Amino acid sequence: MCLQNTHCLSRTHILSQEHTSSLPKIHCQSQKYIVSPQHTFSKPKIVSFLLFISPWRLYQSKKEPGERLRFALEDLGPIFIKFGQLLSTRPDVVPGEIAKSLKVLQDDLPHFSDKQAIEIIEKEINCEIISIFKDFNPTPLAAASIAQVYSATLKENNKEVVIKVVRPGIKKIIQTDVSLMKRIAAFSERRFEDAKRLQLSRLVDEYEAVILAELDMRLESSNIKQTRRNFEGNNLLYVPEVYLDYCTENLLVMEKIEGIPVDRIENLNDLGVDLRLVAERGVEIFLKQVFIDNFFHADMHPGNIFIDAKNPSDPAYVAVDYAIVGSLSEEEQYQIGRMLVAVIGRDFKEVANILIESKRVNPNTSLSDLENTIRAACEPIFDQPMEKINFGEMLLFIFDSARRFDLRMQPSLMLLQKTLVNIEGLGKQLYPALDFWSIANPFLKNWISERYNPKKLTEWAKRNSLSWFEKARKFPEIADTAIEQVSRLEEYQNANEERHNQLMQKIYIQGRNNGIILIVLIICLFLFIAT
């Protein structure tokens, strides 16, 4: 959920009233729908979808397919808009041009009533709002598709906080909309081969899991606590404190922060902030979260990132909105690390080999064909100076070019790619000459050598020894079970063979009897003609 520059960093109190007044106004993306607990629309969504896919649109519209899809999703409402945002990060599903069009989708919405918000808060904390909070501001700081944000002060410690309230009735709306998506996906897979190949139903299932997770503020509070622990004693990233005593499924209470939005470059320059250092630290945060912590903030766009400029020569990032986080398996970590190293070394054969051995593409894919396709996509990019190359975008090109080989990507890897694009984009915006690879290359090479050296492998073996011993202890039982199953299989095969022989015998006898009957009929017919 994008909360559009609404948070402030209480430790520094940098954001002035002037800055606050320039925050973007919340607006309705489309006038064709009204957001309320009832979530009504001007026409049924299935009708909107059918109108969109109908052949007459091909003749009446001069817009590009991506643009038409964007408008259709906007008409269908906020849940479909968020689905479009997800599609924009899936180059294995939609072509690059369509993904580019979908990236501009916005989900800013009108706020629901203050009375409703207060009722929800009081229900969740099980008491009157004045018992826990003072200086509660009934005017929301922001309103997005999932939740609405308010400011207040905790009575117990006088700490300024923000209160994130889930929209009333939104879960039912999401379930209804997702159910429609599933029907559309199933219909498309039955009618269109491409839809079947892209596994649209599986994609909708993935989306359902992500958006339902966003609804549970307890999960977000847990994500905040975990990230805060990961960066404890580290000055790269400040994570706001979350107050778990007041966090429920529909309510999140966390420290109010003040800071400079990361894209307010003029404000940062006025304060004398070292922008090069800020850009480089963004890359360091990304690498630490992905390869050291294996727990990364997967929604690091400008609306969720601020800069603590209390010390301009030692700036720190401040991140909010932890609804979406990602993690990788050890195998995925190793694969993405190898891939990044291979890409910068122009070792396109290695990139192709990684995609094939990880079973991301059709198993019958030719290594040379995939290598040449990736080379054709990437070589023109390397004609530019190194500081102008965006490696997140390059991964996007690689995935997009591999679509014709039935590329399939795990949601975690797509979240990673999206996060890399965001971090690198922010860095280039702050400091255009940012050389991502000069920071990432030594880190990744060191990480690979450290992670997979003999000492580390020995430690890994020790950590897993108990599990192996337990499996070894159970081996006789497993072996007995296997032998029993094999014996049953043999018995089944023998019985099946016996039934086969009996059937063939019956067929032989029946055939012989039919032959005798046929001969008798021929003789009778001959005798009848002769007489």
| Residue 15, pLDDT above cutoff 70 | no
Residues 237-257 pLDDT 10s:
999 999 999 999 999 999 998
Residue 373 lies in a domain: yes
Q: What is the DSSP string of 267-287?
A: HHHHTT--HHHHHHHHHHHHH
What is the gyration radius of the CA atoms in the chain, in angstroms? 31
Residue 42 lies in a domain: yes
| Residue 518, pLDDT above cutoff 70 | no
Q: Highest-confidence range of 3-12, 29-38, 358-367, by mean pLDDT?
A: 358-367
C-alpha to C-alpha distance for 107 and 147, rounded to whole angstroms: 11
Residue 112 dihedral angles phi and psi, to the nearest 5°: -85, 170
User: Confidence class of residue 423 from pLDDT cuts 50, 70 and 90?
Assistant: confident
Q: Are strands 251-255 and 160-166 parallel, antiparallel or unpaired?
A: antiparallel
Q: What per-residue confidence (pLDDT) applies to 382?
A: 80
Three-state secondary structure call for residue 292: helix
Higher pLDDT, 39 or 151: 151
**DSSP type of residue 33:** B
| Of 404, 391, 494, the residue nearest 95 (C-alpha) | 404
State the average pLDDT over residues 152-175.
Answer: 92
Of 3-17, 121-135, 207-221, 515-529, which range is least confident? 3-17
**Total structural domains in the chain?**
2
Three-state secondary structure call for residue 319: strand
| Domain limits for position 86 | 28-107
| Of 277, 282, 306, the residue nearest 15 (C-alpha) | 306
User: Confidence class of residue 308 from pLDDT cuts 50, 70 and 90?
Assistant: very high
Secondary structure string (H, E, C) spanning 142-203: EECCCEEEEEEEECCCCCEEEEEEECCCHHHHHHHHHHHHHHHHHHHHHHCHHHHHCCHHHH
C-alpha to C-alpha distance for 254 and 246, rounded to whole angstroms: 9
Three-state secondary structure call for residue 311: coil
Mark residue 233 as left, alpha or beta (left: phi above 0; alpha: psi -120 to 50; beta: remaining): left
Residue 448 lies in a domain: yes
State the average pLDDT over residues 313-337.
Answer: 88
The answer to whether 299 is a known catalytic residue is yes
CA–CA distance from 320 to each of 206, 227, 274, 329, 470 (Å)? 23, 11, 22, 25, 43
Secondary structure string (H, E, C) spanning 456-478: HHHHHHHHCHHHHHHHHHCHHHH
How big is the CA angle at 381 (ends 377 and 384), to the nearest 5 degrees? 165
Residues 211-231 pLDDT 10s:
888 889 999 999 999 999 999
State the average pLDDT over residues 17-37.
Answer: 36
User: Confidence class of residue 366 from pLDDT cuts 50, 70 and 90?
Assistant: very high
| Residue 507, pLDDT above cutoff 60 | no
Secondary structure string (H, E, C) spanning 367-395: HHHHHHHHHHHHCCHHHCCHHHCCHHHHH
Residue 76 lies in a domain: yes
Q: What per-residue confidence (pLDDT) applies to 2?
A: 40
| Residue 87, pLDDT above cutoff 60 | yes
Domain boundary among 107, 140, 160: 107
Residue 58 lies in a domain: yes
Higher pLDDT, 191 or 351: 351
Three-state secondary structure call for residue 133: strand
C-alpha to C-alpha distance for 53 and 44, rounded to whole angstroms: 15
From the candidates 92, 299, 321, 435, give the one annotated as an active-site residue: 299
C-alpha to C-alpha distance for 317 and 418, rounded to whole angstroms: 19
C-alpha to C-alpha distance for 152 and 135, rounded to whole angstroms: 5
| Residue 361, pLDDT above cutoff 70 | yes
pTM of the model: 0.69
Higher pLDDT, 339 or 284: 284
Domain boundary among 443, 463, 483: 463
Q: What per-residue confidence (pLDDT) applies to 131?
A: 92
Residue 361 lies in a domain: yes
| Residue 436, pLDDT above cutoff 60 | yes
Q: Highest-confidence range of 297-306, 448-457, 467-476, by mean pLDDT?
A: 297-306
**Mean of all residue pLDDT scores within the chain:** 76
| Residue 488, pLDDT above cutoff 70 | no
The percent of residues above 70 in pLDDT, for the chain, comes to 68
Q: What is the DSSP string of 408-449?
A: ---HHHHHHHHHHHHHHHHHHHH-TT--HHHHHHHHHHHHHH
Q: What per-residue confidence (pLDDT) applies to 46?
A: 52
C-alpha to C-alpha distance for 395 and 401, rounded to whole angstroms: 10
Q: What per-residue confidence (pLDDT) applies to 336?
A: 84
Q: What per-residue confidence (pLDDT) applies to 38?
A: 40
| Residue 58, pLDDT above cutoff 50 | no
For residue 381, what are its two tokens?
């990019």
How big is the CA angle at 142 (ends 139 and 145), to the nearest 5 degrees? 125
Q: What per-residue confidence (pLDDT) applies to 396?
A: 77
Domain boundary among 446, 463, 480: 463
Q: How far is CA 27 from the centre of its chain?
A: 26
Give 161's strand partners.
152, 255
| Residue 44, pLDDT above cutoff 60 | no
C-alpha to C-alpha distance for 349 and 341, rounded to whole angstroms: 12
Residue 238 dihedral angles phi and psi, to the nearest 5°: -100, 130
State the average pLDDT over residues 124-133.
Answer: 92
Residue 271 lies in a domain: no
For residue 234, what are its two tokens?
């580290």
Mark residue 294 as left, alpha or beta (left: phi above 0; alpha: psi -120 to 50; beta: remaining): left
C-alpha to C-alpha distance for 408 and 222, rounded to whole angstroms: 30
Q: What per-residue confidence (pLDDT) applies to 9?
A: 41
Residue 286 lies in a domain: no
Of 66-70, 178-182, 185-189, 274-278, which range is least confident? 66-70
C-alpha to C-alpha distance for 456 and 515, rounded to whole angstroms: 77
Higher pLDDT, 311 or 203: 311
Higher pLDDT, 8 or 170: 170
C-alpha to C-alpha distance for 40 and 106, rounded to whole angstroms: 19
CA–CA distance from 88 to each of 99, 261, 331 (Å)? 4, 24, 25
State the average pLDDT over residues 38-49.
Answer: 47
**DSSP type of residue 402:** G
